[in-house]
Amino acid sequence: MFAIIRALRPKQWTKNGLLFAALIFSQRYTDLTAVRDVVIGFALFCAISSSGYLVNDLRDVEADRLHPKKSKRPIAAGEVPIWAAWALAAVLMTGGVAGGFLLKTGFGIAALSYLVVTLTYSTFFKHTVLLDVMLIATGFVLRAVAGAEAIPVPSSPWFLTCTAFGALFIGFSKRLAEIRDLGDAAGAHRKILDEYSIPMLEQFISIMTGCAIISYALYAVDSGHGPGMLLTVPFVIYGVMRVMYLVEKGEGGAPEMMLLRDWPLQVCIALFGITAITAMRFGAMAVS
């Protein structure tokens, strides 16, 4: 049972926390119905994303057995039978999408779109340069859209733009960390890494860094929550630079672990949330 839980990659579920963004920025966090629906949506996305990880591991099982770390994954290590992993993936993806449509039609469409993107990535574009990271970024944007549809509230174009650039920043940073970690053997463990180079990825990361920060700053100005939202911009800048620092230190191969292990990043996120909620409350009082 423990091997099956590990195969679902529960540590990756932190990425689905993006569904709560719309709940916070729409100030619906005191609405118990909205909170309930987003929590249900979070659970459904965890099921769907885990089904995607299972399919990904099943397709890459032979390559993973050659990797120093991935060879310890339950499917690659033989701890979870192939047939059981396929059956569990089918149950999770079917149940997750069906549950999504029962929650809200818009949420169901976003959940189904996320599943399609995930399977398309694993099947076709995982080994296609640039499109591999762009598909991953699309998955994050769909998480943000799903969070808004669960309530439902309109999605902010600037917030979605910031999410896309932020996800591209994380994706290219992960590729850079993998190349640095694996060295000359990088292509043997993940074929797509042969298509990238360290200077190329550093340029991509620089571009995405600027785009992510600027698009968030524009969201803060255009959010309608008052000028106080600009106080959250420094936390975004620090968070981005902190991730760049950790990647340079060789810790960017698993972005979800950075969030779980790095206390300065955790403090930054907590202060960002407190500042944003405070700014939105005072902004709403000023308008009223």
Q: Which fold has domain 1-155?
A: Tetracycline Repressor; domain 2 (1.10.357)
Residues 223-249 pLDDT 10s:
888 899 999 999 999 999 999 999 888
The residue ranges of every structural domain in the chain are: 1-155, 156-288
Average pLDDT over residues 218-223: 92
What is the token pair recorded at 257?
């672990």
Residues 75-96 pLDDT 10s:
888 788 999 999 999 999 999 9
Rounded to a whole number of angstroms, the distance between the first and last alpha carbons of the chain is: 54
Please state, for a pLDDT cut of 70, what percent of the chain lies above it: 94
What is the DSSP secondary-structure string of 162-183?
HHHHHHHHHHHHHHHHHHHHHG
pLDDT in the model for residue 191: 80
Please state, for a pLDDT cut of 90, what percent of the chain lies above it: 68
pLDDT in the model for residue 85: 92
Residues 145-162 pLDDT 10s:
999 999 999 999 999 999
Tokens 């976003």, located at residue = 110
What is the token pair recorded at 216?
């968030």
Cα angle 157, 158, 163 (rounded to 5 degrees) comes to: 100
Using CA atoms, how far residue 257 sits from 40, 101, 114, in Å, is 24, 31, 22
pLDDT in the model for residue 188: 66
User: Which band of pLDDT confidence, cut at 50, 70 and 90, is reported for residue 287?
Assistant: very low
Q: For residue 50, which phi and psi values (nearest 5 degrees)?
A: -65, -35
Average pLDDT over residues 163-169: 96
Mean pLDDT of the chain: 90
* In the chain, beta strands by DSSP E: none
At what angle are helices 263-287 and 233-248 packed, to 10 degrees? 170
DSSP designation for 185: G
Check pLDDT > 60 for residue 254.
Answer: yes
Whole-model pTM? Answer: 0.91
Cβ atoms of 54 and 85 within 8 Å: the answer is yes
